[in-house]
A and B are shown apart, each in its own frame.
Chain A
Amino acid sequence: GIQVEQSPPDLILQEGANSTLRCNFSDSVNNLQWFHQNPWGQLINLFYIPSGTKQNGRLSATTVATERYSLLYISSSQTTDSGVYFCAVGGGGSQGNLIFGKGTKLSVKP
């Protein structure tokens, strides 16, 4: 099956700093999503981005499908950005399920 690796596993930032989270996957995919799991356990959709670049406020994401990686950029980080960021990919068709990476745990200090 498809393997998903996220880096770094842990990240500590000072408020206001920028960061880049990476997601590598082992095979072609037709679905890639980024999620933020907040400290209360809720999964928040950030991006649906099987290819290309998208931006939403201070967050942006880029997926290079041919090279099998995706990047999530967080600019001017805030304490509310703390939590775990998951990348998940899907192979599509009858394999509609998402395969999750182990996540990047982000702590933003005031």
Chain B
Amino acid sequence: NAGVMQNPRHLVRRRGQEARLRCSPMKGHSHVYWYRQLPEEGLKFMVYLQKENIIDESGMPKERFSAEFPKEGPSILRIQQVVRGDSAAYFCASSPTSDGEQFFGPGTRLTVL
């Protein structure tokens, strides 16, 4: 059973460009979570999705950030008009239930020049 997959693993963008981060959950998992880790800090929750629905986006910045988890295909975290402060590691996790064990992908390291 393949683990959580994220791509790309590294992403470099210039200020003002768009960043698209992809996450494929483990097989059989319908709950997806996105977290952000700034340098030298712990992980902070951003958004929780279940197929086609956003359950909780309380940790997501109000502007420029959006997330989706379509019926078919991976979950996407989209950051528009990136700024240097968006540079971070973005982790995706999946779980079979809302309070079950979460399994994390390898992360996408975003660098904004």
Residues of A bordering B, CB below 8 Å: 30-31, 33, 35, 41-43, 45, 48, 86, 88, 90, 92-103
Contacts and interface: CB of A to CB of B under 8 A. Distances in A.
Contact of A97 (B45, B89, B106): B45
Given A41-B109, A95-B56, A100 B43 contact: yes
A43 B91 contact: yes
Interface stretch (B14-22, B66-74, B79-87, B97-105): B97-105
Given A96-B31, A98-B33, A86 B103 contact: no
B56 A90 contact: no
A30 to B, nearest CB: 5
Given A86-B42, A94-B55, A42 B98 contact: no
A90 B93 CA distance: 13
Interface of B: 31, 33, 35, 41-45, 48, 55-56, 59, 89, 91, 93, 95, 98-104, 106-107, 109
7 contacts: A41-B106, A90-B99, A92-B99, A96-B33, A98-B35, A98-B45, A100-B44
Contacts, number: 63
Nearest to B98: A96
A96 B29 CA distance: 14
Contacts of A101: 42
Contacts of A35: 104
Contacts of B89: 41
A77 B98 CA distance: 34
B109 to A, nearest CB: 7
Contacts of A86: 42-43
Contacts of A98: 33, 35, 43, 45, 93, 102
